[in-house]
Amino acid sequence: MSVGGDITKTVPLVNRSKKPVTFKLLPSDPAQFTKCNVTFNPDKEVTLKPREIQPIEIRFNPKTRLPNFNFDIKLEVEPNEPRKLISLHGVSHGIELKLMDEVVAFGSVVKGSRLTKYL
């Protein structure tokens, strides 16, 4: 992926129980999620009815180069401890172009003539 890319993946979460479940998704490390421009939705408390499906949208929108990263999104169902729901792995490669010479010297040119240099 080049810098400035925007990738969105959707993962379905299904309530297979016979009762409604209220949960919240939490980042394993909020600061790292922010640093790497990873977001997910829903980011607030949600209640799923039995056999209901909730799509989880995960977005990676890097602004700079980033080394490999591994994060988890945790699922919190009160009063239980948060548990790992899904692992995210990613990297952002940058494309960099740089001129070998920063100055193109034309030297002396006679009025009315032309000199062409290829870069």
Quick check: is 59 in a domain?
Answer: yes
Q: Is residue 113 one of the residues assigned to a domain?
A: no
Confidence band, pLDDT 50/70/90 cuts, at residue 3: very low
Would you mind telling me the total number of residues written for the chain in this entry?
119
Summary mean pLDDT of the chain:
87
Please give, one letter per residue, the 3-state secondary structure of 25-78: EEECCHHHHHHCCEEEECCCCEEECCCCEEEEEEEECCCCCEEEEEEEEEEECC
70 belongs to a structural domain: yes
Q: Name the residue range of residue 68's domain.
A: 7-92
On whether residue 75 sits in a domain, the answer given is yes
**Percent of the chain whose predicted confidence (pLDDT) is above 90:** 58
Kindly tell me if the per-residue pLDDT of 4 is higher than 70: no
Domain count within the chain: 1
| CATH number, residue 22 | 2.60.40.10
Owner of token pair 């977005």? 59
Which residues are bridge partners to 83 per DSSP?
75
